[in-house]
Structure 1
Amino acid sequence: MSRMALFNPASNDTNNNDNDMDDSKAVTIYRCRAPIASLDCMEEFSAGSAGAVASGRPIESKERLLLSGLSYSSSENPYQLTKQVSLPPGLRYRNLGKSGLRVANIGLGTWSLFGSGLTSEKIEEIITMAMNNGINVFDLSEAHSGSGSELELGRILSRKMWKRSSYIIVTKIYWSTRSEEKGLSRKHIVESVRASLMRLQLPYIDIVIIHKADSMCPMEEVVRAMHYIISQGWVMYWGTARWSPVEIMEAYTNCRQFNCVTPIVEQTEYNMFCREKTELHMPELYNKIGVGAMTWGTTSMISSMDRDDRSNFFSRYNFKNKNTSFSWTEDEAAINKESWNWSKDRNQLDKGRKVSEKLQELSILSEKLGCSVAQLCTAWCLKNESVHCLLLEAASEEQLFSGIQSLQLIPKLSATLMADIERILDNKPTRPPAISTLVLR
């Protein structure tokens, strides 16, 4: 590689000994561009000394203490150890979509936490446990626990006085056809965000999610309203939940047309029996417009199977689509109670039996791995690279600890084991074959 000495024009007439200058003092100019660090490299930096393990270089004694959860004291006694909170193995921080927001690969969904009847002290202990284990995403939803979840979380955050940059609050603008506040008008969006800020007692919200699209409201009004609340500093990012890929693309197109902030995330249901959207459409949306996937509903069916009788469980849910949906929104619960009685449909009961048989085979496989079925389902979902953040359900510290420990199963899911799971599930989504327009004519 070429190099040249630094040239000083002022020294031509006074110093003629430039040729005798030592080569060690010459300034080396490399005619190439600096390398750009990859995201994988940045993950190693964020993991601290875990990067030393991944790179294979020898670990110093001080680093070994940090990896074991103990901190090295620099006092008079160099061997004095003090207990320190360390990140659980398998926890990674990734960019949410193609934005610069770094989130943990697992978050805490509070729909079961605030709706379980726990005391405020118990809820605070679970949230503190999540923060101590590196979870920085807390998802709220008025659809499940009402505005009381925001009030309770706001009180906990004000008492703890954590650094604002250390956690990410995700809340939703939910509208229901049965409520007085209908639609996604600019008025509803602005009033909902300001009310959430007052309940949370925070200067801003990190991500606001629009739960379900409104076919009666122009998409231009929705994206302009979201751009407005971001411009005011009330919100940092916005995203969608339960939107179809066509609706997400329409919102992105309107944002580009009117120079508005684009959405960065789509919240979608993802488990072993609901796979099509996350595995087929979300990777395409990420590559085209940079929308990431924040998934939920991974272990909801497992916990419900533990509480309810198997013959009655599958009769309460909607099997009208190819993928089973295990969601509990207000509208769907009312529809299931009023008009749908799947227990009389023998075909739907047969589908429920097949799912139950698959869960039994998965339980046998999980016993061989030394874990529970819920932990296997969580690790299986995180194995998908399209999932940027997985929201865990936890109504107790034991459930949260079990979900965090499932991160250690991800390296154990080899290609052979994943093939065995696919053989048991037998529901891998595939794209329909392309049909020529000439054939349609």
Structure 2
Amino acid sequence: MEYRRLGKSGLQVSALSLGSWLTFGNQISDKVADELMGIAYDAGVNFFDNAEGYAEGKSEEVMGKILKSQKWERESFIVSSKVFFGTENKGPNRVGLSRKHVIEACNAALKRLQVDYLDLYFCHRPDKQTPIEETVWAMNTLLQQGKILYWGTSEWSAAEIMEAIVVAKQYNLIGPTMEQPQYNLIERNKLENEYLHLFKEHGLGTTIWSPLASGLLSGKYTTGDTKNTRLDLNGMDWLKDRVMAEEKMKKVVELQKLADKMNLPLAKLSLAWCLKNPNVSTMILGASKTSQLKENLTVLEVVPLLTDKVMEDIDKIMGTKPELSPF
């Protein structure tokens, strides 16, 4: 396993991490979740990603039971939660980034995960209804109480993250350490364009999600068959339509040909491509089967095969490289 610093912080995260969105407490049994975490940990994965909104809190409960039963030393793993969407009971002050919800959600996540503190705590989306000062102060309170060690954002714009950094500096508070954006061969703008200033000037770290673009780059859908995949889950029609868009599928079919030529599974080529970006601190893998996770955990061996020429070929096929902003 390779370990990378989370941005400019001193925290070392495994280049590969394990996430629980759509799987824990939902798509897979608790037994499989336990096996997946054990396989990941034994392979050197030290970061397990979660959120209050995943399976309406059930995902954290499942992970908490596993962490307790595995009896791993607390120093040996990093666990996260995210605040914004709330759990099962929605309503006033049960969603968003108000001081009340940020602090209550953290306390609830600690109980579900059965830990004394969260290593990473993310604002899962920006909250237009709450002043940024209020959220930054709430995060700082949790830091001072020792309930969280680092805080960050997920799917915020560069301008919104910058505003949080400015507010933190203004009041001598601790600003965001990391952002969790979607990053893959389809979605590239934030990491390769919008955030460049934040990486260079502020040392922002990233914990990227959906490196296989919700499975589009996994090789499963080049046949157009979504049976027994996450796109087959109830209520996932919106994701299916977005993922299977014809234009994208054509590109992925071409990418599959390149992967075949290199004698690589498409998933591994796509994952290795993400890891080539030096601004990726860790890449969150999702898995519903142990065989799938074991295979993807060997992706670091593939990274050296992605020469400059291969990277150019990928760019030509995908046509998704963002144009750099003039500023």
Find the counterpart in structure 2 of residue 265 from structure 1: 178
TM-score of the two chains, using structure 2 as the length reference? 0.89
Amino acid at match of 1:392: L
In the aligned structure 1, how far is the partner of 2:262 from the partner of 2:12? Answer: 31
**1:249 corresponds to 2:162:** yes
In the aligned structure 1, how far is the partner of 2:225 from the partner of 2:3? Answer: 40
In the aligned structure 2, how far is the partner of 1:114 from the partner of 1:303? Answer: 22
Find the counterpart in structure 2 of residue 146 from structure 1: 56
C-alpha RMSD of the superposition: 2.8
Q: CA deviation at 1:396?
A: 1.2
Find the counterpart in structure 1 of residue 215 from structure 2: 301
In the aligned structure 2, how far is the partner of 1:387 from the partner of 1:255? Answer: 24
**1:179 corresponds to 2:80:** no
**1:205 corresponds to 2:118:** yes
1:161 pairs with one of 71, 96, 114: 71
Over residues 193-238 of structure 1, what are the superposed CA-to-partner deviations in whole Å (9 max), with x where a residue is unaligned?
Answer: 0111111111111010011111111111100000001100111110
Find the counterpart in structure 2 of residue 382 from structure 1: 275
1:99 pairs with one of 6, 9, 34: 9
Q: Which deviates further from its counterpart, 303-312 or 266-275?
A: 303-312
Q: Structure 1's 286 and 369: CA in aligned 2 closer, same or farther, altered over 3 A?
A: same
**1:430 corresponds to 2:327:** no
Q: CA deviation at 1:398?
A: 1.0
**1:170 corresponds to 2:80:** yes
Checking the alignment, whether the CA contact within 8 Å between 2:48 and 2:79 is kept in structure 1 is yes
Q: CA deviation at 1:153?
A: 1.2
Over residues 252-290 of structure 1, what are the superposed CA-to-partner deviations in whole Å (9 max), with x where a residue is unaligned?
Answer: 000011111111100000111110101112332121112
Checking the alignment, whether the CA contact within 8 Å between 1:112 and 1:394 is kept in structure 2 is no
Q: CA deviation at 1:116?
A: 4.7
Q: CA deviation at 1:179?
A: 2.9
Match runs of 1:40-51 below 5 Å: none
Q: Which deviates further from its counterpart, 224-233 or 357-366?
A: 357-366
2:287 pairs with one of 394, 409, 424: 394
Match runs of 1:229-378 below 5 Å: 229-299=142-212, 300-302=214-216, 306=220, 310=224, 336=238, 352-378=245-271
Checking the alignment, whether the CA contact within 8 Å between 2:96 and 2:127 is kept in structure 1 is yes
Find the counterpart in structure 1 of residue 102 from structure 2: 189
Unaligned segments of structure 2, at least 5 residues: none
Amino acid at match of 1:156: I
Amino acid at match of 1:133: A
Checking the alignment, whether the CA contact within 8 Å between 1:112 and 1:395 is kept in structure 2 is no
What secondary structure is seen at the aligned counterpart in 1 of 2:321? Answer: coil
Amino acid at match of 2:51: S
In the aligned structure 2, how far is the partner of 1:395 from the partner of 1:411? Answer: 27
What secondary structure is seen at the aligned counterpart in 2 of 1:208? Answer: strand
In the aligned structure 1, how far is the partner of 2:140 from the partner of 2:265? Answer: 44
Instruction: Work out which structure has the larger RCO, using CA pairs closer than 8 Å and 6 or more positions apart in sequence.
Output: 2
Unaligned segments of structure 1, at least 5 residues: 1-90, 314-325, 435-441
In the aligned structure 1, how far is the partner of 2:15 from the partner of 2:78? Answer: 13
Checking the alignment, whether the CA contact within 8 Å between 1:93 and 1:105 is kept in structure 2 is yes
Find the counterpart in structure 2 of residue 118 from structure 1: 28
Aligned residues: 318
Q: CA deviation at 1:352?
A: 2.9
**1:223 corresponds to 2:136:** yes
Q: Structure 1's 422 and 117: CA in aligned 2 closer, same or farther, altered over 3 A?
A: closer
In the aligned structure 2, how far is the partner of 1:133 from the partner of 1:305? Answer: 24
